[in-house]
Amino acid sequence: MKKLSVPPQLLLSVEKPAQYIGNEINAVHKENGTFSTHFALCFPDLYEIGMSHLGLSILYNLMNARNDVYCERVFSPMQDMEKLLEDYEIPLFSLESQTPVQTFDFLGFTLQYEMSYTNMLNILKLSKLALRSAQRDVTDPIVCAGGPCVYNPEPIAPFVDFFYLGEAEAALPQILDLYETMKNDPSIDPKERKALFLERLLDVDGVYVPQFYDVSYHEDGTIKERHLLHEKAKPTIKKQLVVDLDTMPYASKPIVPYLQPVHDRIVLELFRGCSRGCRFCQAGFVYRPVREKSLDTLKEQASELSTQTGHDEISLISLSTSDYKELSPLCDFLIDDISKEKKVNLSLPSLRIDSFSLELMNKVQDVRKSSLTFAPEAGSQRMRDVINKGISEENILHGSKEAFLGGWNRVKLYFMLGLPSETEEDILAISKLADDIVRTYYSIDKEQRPKGGVQLIVSTSFFIPKPFTPFQWVGQDTYETFMEKQALLNKAINKKRIKYNSHDAKLSMLEGVMARGDRKVADVIEEAFLSGASFDAWSEHFNFERWQEAFAKCGVDPAFYANRHRSFDEILPWDFIDIGVTRRFLEKEYLRSMEQVVTPNCMDKCMACGATCFNGGICYEDKN
């Protein structure tokens, strides 16, 4: 048995010890001395969450495919384990070789949601590393971060040595090559290596090294100017992506955890990007353009994954699965060759409800008819036009009818409250739409509709304006407004047939600050963490008062970031990042939204968003 960082007898005193030992099927083990770069890859949340994340698996396999690099995993320990580590003064360690994080060359975070920032700081603390880059030792690991959150890296800029913008497959190999060369260069003093490496990173596209930039502010707190502190520091950092997904390496041997993760199944990635252009959706803009894997590639990958993992379920992942061009033949293959042949169940993501998808669902889930999910996002057509959600009331009612005729009688509906320009009428339209769906059910002949009545579940979340969307300038509703709107809807919903899931808006408000914060917000995150904040994404751990005190202590007004409407003239903290889609396009989209003008999706018409600069994907299809 390999040596564990935490002695076995102590491991037996904590909950779910299997998450700390790194012996899963397909976990990678490399002997010391066979590699030179040691990379600690961290998803700053619990093991069972992190192990469900495809991105982590992609990074892990991408790095471990190289002989010169050994990538190991690190997660947030559960609270009982955290206490044990503190009591026995055991520094946080990697799972595979049980090595202290402190001794690695890199500590890389994948940041999927803003509310994991305090967990990131906690990982640094448990690893016995200083929180701020400037305070860390020259021999400490190089701390880096990627993932959707870093499209606005500024609120966490002081903690991270460098950020990587875009898809890892594109330029991470180049970064690792650079480090390898420097590590093997005897003329470079290991004590000077980190500083020199960060400087050389200024030549690498997609990399942002915050220490080489400074920001000055106007008196009102808005940004006056960004200053370049190094001659090579680029004024804009361009997102990196992979053009051809068929030739890109993929995780053919993903780790299969013993401890059941949230999603315990094969995940097959169909395409990246989304052509829909919903105006609230950050993913819809930052991952442009749409790039698909070919049917042949997916068939091959599905077969390989089912043999390599032994999983009994396969699911499809992408931003809008129904848009995959060859979804029908792909599903036929998955049903006939994978599901029936290998007894691997196909689990479908939420699809656009049309006759094709209902037929497909019928084929897949023979008898168990679980619920169907619609995400109209807004109740009124006016509001749906504002957000460019290309779905009409007729689509929704027709889809529901088809679903009822197909035997489903549980329908889940997702909406957002607080969308730009929302009125009382728009909110009440949510309850009216839900009523109309119930009515649709009862309009069907008794013999033809499923027995047992209809069950409708309406859930709302609060709108959070995100960077790189047409709504990036919009002021978010205040906490009070959110709660009033929710109460209004709650009163309007007919509870006899409809269940309403509501939430508290405190977390959404805080997320609003993090999402569009600047460097000044870093002080607040640090202060909240030092006063005990962590696991903020978990409602049982989230403590809003702690955050309020942190804002007050740092003299930072949350409303400045969350609720303030920005003008087009203002320099936004993330303007220096180039995602391909231009600011000009986002401005136009914002203006169109205010006039309720819908924008066609990329499949129908090119609206010249700027993503053509990547020379590939949907922008160049059928145009040769």
Partner 1 sequence: MKIRIKFKKNGLMQFIGHLDFMRAWQKFFRQSGIPIAYSEGFNPHQVFSIAAPLAVGTTGDGEYLDLKLSVQDYDMDLFKQQVASVLPEGVELVDAIVLPEKAKAGMAACYAADYQLTLSDELKARMSDERKMNEFFSQESIVVKKKNKKGKINDFDLSPGIFSYQLQGQTILCRLATGSSLNIKPELLMGALFEYMGIEVEKFTDTIYYLIHRYEIYQSLEPQRTLIEFD
Burial of 205 (0-12, 13-18, 19+ CB in 10 A): middle
Rounded Cα distance between 466 and 514, Å, is: 10
7: contact with partner 1 by CB under 8 A: yes
Q: Do residues 321 and 268 touch, judged by C-beta distance below 8 A? A: no
How is residue 303 written in tokens?
């077969």
Residue 396 sits at φ, ψ, to 5 deg, of -65, -50
129, burial (CB in 10 Å: exposed 0-12, middle 13-18, buried 19+): buried
Nearer of residues 13 and 392 to partner 1, judged by Cβ: 13
Q: How far is the CB of 51 from partner 1 (least distance, A)?
A: 13
Strand partners, 241: none
366 interacts with partner 1 by CB under 8 A: yes
Residues contacting partner 1: total by CB under 8 A:
31
Report the residue from 192, 203, 312, 332 that binds partner 1 according to the rule CB under 8 A.
312
Structure tokens at 530: 């030092």
Among 129, 239, 259, 624, binds partner 1 (CB under 8 A): 259
Q: How far is the CB of 94 from partner 1 (least distance, A)?
A: 15
If you ran DSSP here, which 8-state letter would residue 390 be given? -
Tell me if residue 441 falls in helix, strand or coil: helix
Two tokens at 337?
A: 């060759």
Nearer to partner 1, 301 or 469 (CB): 301
Q: Which helix (H) or strand (E) holds 175?
A: helix 168-183
Tell me the C-alpha distance between 367 and 407, whole Å. Answer: 9
- Start-to-end Cα distance in the chain: 59
Judged by beta carbon, residue 177 or residue 264, the one nearer partner 1 is 264
Of the candidates 42, 62, 245, 64, the one whose C-alpha atom is nearest the C-alpha of residue 124 is: 42
Residues 263-302 as x/- pattern, contact with partner 1 by CB under 8 A: -x--------------------------------------
Instruction: State which H helix or E strand residue 410 sits in.
Output: strand 410-417
CB-based contacts of 55, cutoff 8 Å, min separation 6: 110, 112, 147, 168
Stretch that binds partner 1, among 7-15, 71-79, 139-147, 238-246 (CB under 8 A): 7-15
Q: Tell whether residue 262 is a contact of partner 1 (CB under 8 A).
A: no
Does residue 256 bind partner 1 (CB under 8 A)? yes
Cα 587 from Cα 31, distance rounded (Å): 53
Q: Which of 2, 232, 439, 499 forms a contact with partner 1 (CB under 8 A)?
A: 2
Quote the least distance from Cβ 535 to partner 1, whole Å.
23
Binding of partner 1 by 442 (CB under 8 A):
no
Query: In what helix (H) or strand (E) does residue 80 lie, and over which residues does it extend?
Result: helix 79-87
- Minimum CB–partner distance for residue 57 and partner 1 (Å): 16
The least distance separating partner 1 from the CB of residue 63, rounded to whole angstroms, comes to: 22
Q: Identify whether 153 is preceded by a cis peptide bond (ω within 30 of 0).
A: no
Residue 90: CB minimum distance to partner 1, A: 10
Nearer to partner 1, 121 or 256 (CB): 256
Q: How many CA atoms lie within 13 A of 373 on its CB side?
A: 9
| DSSP SS3 for 545 | helix
Rounded (10°) CA dihedral 81, 86, 89, 92: 50
Name the minimum Å distance from CB 257 to partner 1. Answer: 9
Residue number, 342 or 541, with CB nearest to partner 1: 342
Of 18 and 188, which has the nearer Cβ to partner 1?
Answer: 18
If one asks whether residue 89 binds partner 1 (CB under 8 A), the answer comes out as no
**Interface map 561-600 toward partner 1 (x if CB under 8 A):** ----------------------------------------
CA angle 142, 145, 149 (to 5 degrees): 160
| Token code pair at residue 197 | 């490496």
Q: Does the footprint of partner 1 cover residue 368 (CB under 8 A)?
A: yes
Is 362 a residue that touches partner 1 (CB under 8 A)?
no
CB of 52 to partner 1, least distance (A): 15
Q: Using CB under 8 A, pick the residue from 89, 219, 367, 446 that binds partner 1.
A: 367
Min separation Cβ 29 and partner 1, Å: 10
Shortest distance, CB of residue 103 to partner 1, whole angstroms? 22
Least CB distance from residue 1 to partner 1, whole Å?
Answer: 4
With CB under 8 A as the contact rule, which of the stretches 157-165, 234-242, 294-302, 363-371 interacts with partner 1? 363-371
Please report how close the Cβ of residue 372 comes to partner 1 at its closest, in angstroms.
19
Give the footprint of partner 1 on residues 9-28 (CB under 8 A). 9-13, 17-18, 21, 23, 25
Of 67, 83, 86, 88, the residue at the interface with partner 1 (CB under 8 A) is 88
Q: What is the CA radius of gyration of the chain?
A: 25
C-beta closer to partner 1: residue 80 or 424: 80
Vertex 402, ends 399 and 405: CA angle to 5°?
150
Task: Please list, residue by residue across 362-390, b when 16 or more beta carbons sit within 10 angstroms of its beta carbon and e when fewer do.
Answer: eeebeeebeebbbbbbbbbbebbbbbbbb
Residue in the structure block whose two tokens are 């400087």: 199
Nearest partner of 525 among 131, 208, 216, judged by Cα? 131
Query: Is the CB of 315 or the CB of 461 nearer to partner 1?
Result: 315
Q: Give the residue with the Cβ less far from partner 1, 365 or 373.
A: 365
Using the rule CB under 8 A, which residue among 291, 311, 389, 485 binds partner 1? 311
Q: Does 343 bind partner 1 (CB under 8 A)?
A: yes
Task: Say whether residue 1 binds partner 1 (CB under 8 A).
Answer: yes
C-alpha 560/C-alpha 199 separation (Å) is 34
Provide the binding-site residues for partner 1, judged by CB under 8 A: 1-2, 7-13, 17-18, 21, 23, 25, 88, 256, 258-260, 264, 307-312, 342-343, 366-368
